[in-house]
Structure 1
């Protein structure tokens, strides 16, 4: 399959194959049109695999801020977004990949060329994505994520209302042990991870067009800010600018009900809505 056979821009995001749900947050196929596409990557807490069909695959490590990339015209790209602390393509943690974008060849994997040929030979981009997911299903068998870090990620999700110290106590770790294991497996300390997950929770609510259930009288963006765990809208604005380089309005196109990029991110944000519980208005 030639990456130049399609010139119409499109983006389709999907839930991962059932066997990958515990390791992969979402997968996607992106095709640029006749002009390059400027992509703003945002912190998600996990690493991402970007595989342009017919081109070299790269692993984007966990981000602490925005990273802007120009995707060439007439490119078809397969994407995989991993949950925090998932080492499917590395031999250990991802601490060394923080804010880095590296070629898979740098890891010395012998399967990269063979898998690239299989992906390029698929009949359609969706078929190519199935080839990639089938390969990742085999990798799952030998993956060994840190179980305490995986548990910590669940406890630090936006709707759990736990502080980092309480999570460390729950896991039976000292504060220093918790930081060390989190940095090795995830790339950042637990507090930074919690901030990123809270930000992702806010985006999930905005993508879903959710109605705020925060403090009495707070609606729109202010209400969602309180609902996801920010102290107020000013707190949200500071964190969003730090993580994205934009204001919340700039990021969402001044519309709290949808992402300004026009893409449907339902598959990506669904895991962040599972544990949401309405707050009692005050």
Structure 2
């Protein structure tokens, strides 16, 4: 996989163009799992529409929703994507607390697993998609960055998220989702129930669900790094019990349950499906500018 990164506008955590070559016979390729994460995902498909399935059964029948421009909501279940012979486009990770600035709506309004970009950003996204699809690969990320900056300019008078939600997010993210929700509420100066209500209004999920998601994401990021650093045909020496302990899970079984909830498979099942893809990745990250 080749990746070219571009400087992201405010509110974007990562923005890069990609070109992915499928490996092995198409019938033997597992689905790509779009996992729940602490970001919203925007994909501008430059070659052909992105086919998103909401279950393994849909994916196996090659059914689902096709998007030229896909916006992934702030979800807590995986999306299954087909692996064609070649994929090209631009992918953007948007901080959910910046959704108002870039999309004109809070993340809670993006209640579906995936949305067609035009339904959220209006008809102007069609012209951006056309420019990206016809541009040279090295220019695509810059075009999307400019498009998002223009969107931010249109929504610069939209009110931002509540300070209590911003504070809670920062506390939970800094603790890898392990800070107690009662302590978070106390720190930001509201009751636990009121904080959860505010989070649901902004993000679509409550404080406890946000903490669980951030903890899983921290554990999953550590697992990805361990897999990326592994050598040989399959990773060895990755102790899932230690990974569970390091991220506040009671034991391996507790971690396994979190994986099945968020990925639809176990940690070892995920490794088996994604090992070669992770090995080929070029890690990229833009400046983190949440709100």
- Please give the range of the TM-score, normalised by the shorter of the 2 chains: 0.7 to 0.9
Q: What do residues 142-185 of structure 1 show as CA deviations (whole Å, max 9, x unaligned)?
A: 26541432322221124474211211121122223212221122
Q: Does 1:98 find its partner at 2:101?
A: no
Give SS of 1:79's match.
strand
Counterpart in 2 of 1:151?
A: 167
Q: Does 1:48 find its partner at 2:41?
A: yes
- When the two chains are superposed, the root-mean-square deviation of aligned CA atoms in Å is 3.1
CA spacing shift, 1:261–1:108, aligned 2, 3 Å: closer
TM-score (norm 2): 0.73
User: Which of the residues 17, 25, 36 maps onto 1:29?
Assistant: 17
CA spacing shift, 1:238–1:166, aligned 2, 3 Å: same
Q: Does 1:209 find its partner at 2:226?
A: yes
Which of the pair has the greater relative contact order for Cα pairs under 8 Å at 6+ separation?
A: 2
Q: How does 1:102-113 map to 2 (within 5 A)?
A: 102-107=115-120, 109-113=122-126
Counterpart in 1 of 2:144?
A: 132
Cα deviation, residue 131, structure 1: 1.1
Is the CA contact 1:221–1:233 (under 8 Å) kept in the aligned structure 2?
yes
Give SS of 2:3's match.
strand
Residue segments in structure 2 that go unaligned for 5+ positions in a row: 50-67, 230-237
Take 1:269 and 1:192, find their aligned partners in 2: how far apart are those partners?
A: 26
CA spacing shift, 1:11–1:148, aligned 2, 3 Å: farther
Counterpart in 2 of 1:7?
A: none
Residue segments in structure 1 that go unaligned for 5+ positions in a row: 1-9, 212-218, 272-282
Q: Does 1:122 find its partner at 2:135?
A: yes
Is the CA contact 1:29–1:79 (under 8 Å) kept in the aligned structure 2?
yes
CA spacing shift, 1:73–1:107, aligned 2, 3 Å: same
CA spacing shift, 1:231–1:84, aligned 2, 3 Å: farther
Is the CA contact 1:13–1:268 (under 8 Å) kept in the aligned structure 2?
no
Q: Does 1:230 find its partner at 2:221?
A: no
Cα deviation, residue 76, structure 1: 1.2
Q: What do residues 201-254 of structure 1 show as CA deviations (whole Å, max 9, x unaligned)?
A: 11222233399xxxxxxx822222211222222211111111111111111239
Take 1:114 and 1:105, find their aligned partners in 2: how far apart are those partners?
A: 10
Counterpart in 2 of 1:246?
A: 265
Take 2:75 and 2:270, find their aligned partners in 1: how far apart are those partners?
A: 17
Give SS of 2:103's match.
coil
- Once superposed, which parts of structure 1, at least 4 consecutive aligned residues long, lie more than 4 Å away? 34-37, 268-271
Q: Which has the higher helix share?
A: 2
CA spacing shift, 1:69–1:208, aligned 2, 3 Å: closer
Cα deviation, residue 44, structure 1: 0.2
Counterpart in 1 of 2:186?
A: 169
Number of residue pairs matched by the alignment: 248
